[in-house]
């Protein structure tokens, strides 16, 4: 930042011009900083504080149903993320022209259109995943996380931020899907990335890792109850980390206050 005011300027107009310029520059800087802060906040909200899977508990139906393998989880995570970004962008772009009274049906139509696109794309390029995701792919339309973001964020904010918000929320959702998929696939089948070639093409068969050799599948981990239990553990872990950070922060604050007092007294 260059804040020096040149002292030798004698003409008033020059000074005011200079001040105006400086104000404009400062505003610009401020706006840029705000934008940066907003992006940072969006990232933190999407990935951690307000994670659609862990905190909002939205879209649990696909989250619990299809995470029996990592491949399925990645497939659904990417599909949801794509739909979320596109729908956020579109909703944000048309936000000035959408009448308030009928905004929800319009949002649903937009989301449904994008879901259809993604579904057709997956049908064309990753047919195996398309089959194993089954009904849960078209059901992305009803995923509350997507319409929730359209309603809560994209309908009030500019396109760029909305796109970033969609990316972060989608990423947060996808990460939870993938973690659940990893846990359940290891517990259930003892493998990782089983069937990755369905998603990524033939080269991906090398990705398959045999973590442990199981005599028999641990069906509970593959069935939905196992997903509920694993999800519960994930949420508990997140809350434990949050609590840990909170207690640490309080300790830090106490220390700061003590130092200030000492300084004033002396």
Burial grade of 151 (CB within 10 A; 0-12, 13-18, 19 or more): middle
Q: How far is the CB of 212 from another protein (least distance, A)?
A: 13
Min separation Cβ 69 and another protein, Å: 17
Q: Are 6 and 18 in contact (CB under 8 A)?
A: yes
Q: Cβ of residue 163: shortest distance to another protein, in angstroms?
A: 40
Minimum CB distance to another protein smaller for 55 or for 229: 229
Look at the alpha carbons of 122, 59, 96, 27 in this order and tell me if their dihedral is positive or negative: negative
Tokens of 208: 């398959």
The dihedral through the CA atoms of 88, 94, 100, 105 has a sign that is: negative
List contacts with another protein (CB under 8 A).
216, 218-221, 223, 225, 229
Residue 221 CB, nearest distance to another protein (Å)?
8
- CB 222, CB 68: distance < 8 Å: yes
Cβ closest to another protein, residue 93 vs residue 220: 220
Judge contact between 226 and 184, C-beta under 8 A: yes
**Closest distance between another protein and the C-beta of residue 232, in Å?**
8
Query: With respect to another protein, which residue has the nearer C-beta, 168 or 230?
Result: 230
Neighbouring residues of 43: CB distance < 8 A, sequence distance ≥ 6: 164, 168
Are 51 and 176 in contact, with CB atoms under 8 Å apart? yes
CB count within 10 Å of CB 9 equals: 12
Q: How many CB atoms lie within 10 A of CB 93?
A: 14
Residue (76 or 187) nearer to another protein, CB: 187
* Beta carbon nearer to another protein, 58 or 187: 187
Smallest separation, CB 219 to another protein (Å): 4
Closer residue to another protein, CB minimum distance, 37 or 241? 241
């Amino acid at each position: 930042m260059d804040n020096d005011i040149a002292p030798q300027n004698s003409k008033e107009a020059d000074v005011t011009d200079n001040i105006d310029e400086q104000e404009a520059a400062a505003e610009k800087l401020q706006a840029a900083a705000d934008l940066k802060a907003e992006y940072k906040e969006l990232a933190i909200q999407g990935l951690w504080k307000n994670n659609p899977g862990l905190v909002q508990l939205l879209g649990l139906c696909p989250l619990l149903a299809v995470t029996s393998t990592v491949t399925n989880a990645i497939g659904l995570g990417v599909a949801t993320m794509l739909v979320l970004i596109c729908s956020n962008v579109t909703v944000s772009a048309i936000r000035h022209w959408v009448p308030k009274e009928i905004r929800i049906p319009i949002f649903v139509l937009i989301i449904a259109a994008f879901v259809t696109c993604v579904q057709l794309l997956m049908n064309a390029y990753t047919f195996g995943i398309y089959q194993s995701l089954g009904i849960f792919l078209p059901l992305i339309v009803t995923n509350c996380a997507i319409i929730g973001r359209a309603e809560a964020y994209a309908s009030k904010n500019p396109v760029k931020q909305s796109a970033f918000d969609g990316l972060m929320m989608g990423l947060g959702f996808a990460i939870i899907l993938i973690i659940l998929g990893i846990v359940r696939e290891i517990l259930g089948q003892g493998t990782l990335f089983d069937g990755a070639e369905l998603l990524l093409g033939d080269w991906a068969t090398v990705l398959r890792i045999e973590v442990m050799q199981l005599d028999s599948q641990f069906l509970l981990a593959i069935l939905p109850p196992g997903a509920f239990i694993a999800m519960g553990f994930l949420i508990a872990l997140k809350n434990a980390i949050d609590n840990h950070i909170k207690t640490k922060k309080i300790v830090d604050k106490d220390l700061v206050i003590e130092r200030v007092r000492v300084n004033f007294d002396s």
